[in-house]
Amino acid sequence: MVNSAPGVKRWALIEASSDAVFSYLSDLSSHGEWDEHPGFVVVGISDGPVAEGSSCQRERIETFQAPILRGGVTSNQVTWIKSLTVIGCEPNHSLDFETKNLYNGLSVGSEFVSFRLLPEGPWTVLVMTDRKNPHLPGLFHLLMMGIEFLKSLIAQPVVGILFRLFPALRVNSRLRRIKNAVEQV
């Protein structure tokens, strides 16, 4: 099991068992249903039950009205690929994964996401921690890494206070979509 990713922890109470919640999260093809970027199509997925090393690849092709220069050739289409790999899995308790993002073949970053499932009577508290890691060339990469570091230093205490004052902020759009999908079953 991988330790929870450093970052902001958010959680939601889901009116379903840990088994049901884990079953939904471990269906790698369903990740597109709650991803923050819609429109991706699954183009590859590993066989068998989810385990460390399982993967899913999704793709979205965007078309622009005006052609853009790409690798010395003009085109009006770009391809965005998200490659998800499970890096930690403890059935009905935790699921950790990394998603790498490629835009026209160039790495534009990755994201580490950790889910912890905590039984609360017949229901489940789903705790999600995520951390984005931007990949930009040269000095931009260093600048973005510095900004992410400063955000984490400042955000932890501020977010903690805001979560206590406004509990509704604890649930982001991804957790809300997961909660809705699991509770509808």
The rounded average pLDDT for each run of 10 residues, N- to C-terminus, in the chain (185 residues) is: 57 94 94 82 92 94 71 75 94 94 81 93 92 65 66 64 60 84 89
Which tokens is 31 given? 């990740």
Distance of CA 143 to the CA centre of its chain: 23
Q: Residue 155, class by beta-carbon neighbours within 10 Å (0-12 exposed, 13-18 middle, 19+ buried)?
A: middle
pTM, entire model:
0.74
Query: Which pLDDT score is estimated for 7?
Result: 64
Query: Which pLDDT score is estimated for 61?
Result: 85
Query: Which pLDDT score is estimated for 57?
Result: 94
Query: Which pLDDT score is estimated for 130?
Result: 84
Rounded Cα distance between 98 and 130, Å, is 10
Query: Which pLDDT score is estimated for 35?
Result: 79
Query: Which pLDDT score is estimated for 3?
Result: 45
Query: Which pLDDT score is estimated for 5?
Result: 45
Rounded Cα distance between 29 and 46, Å, is 10
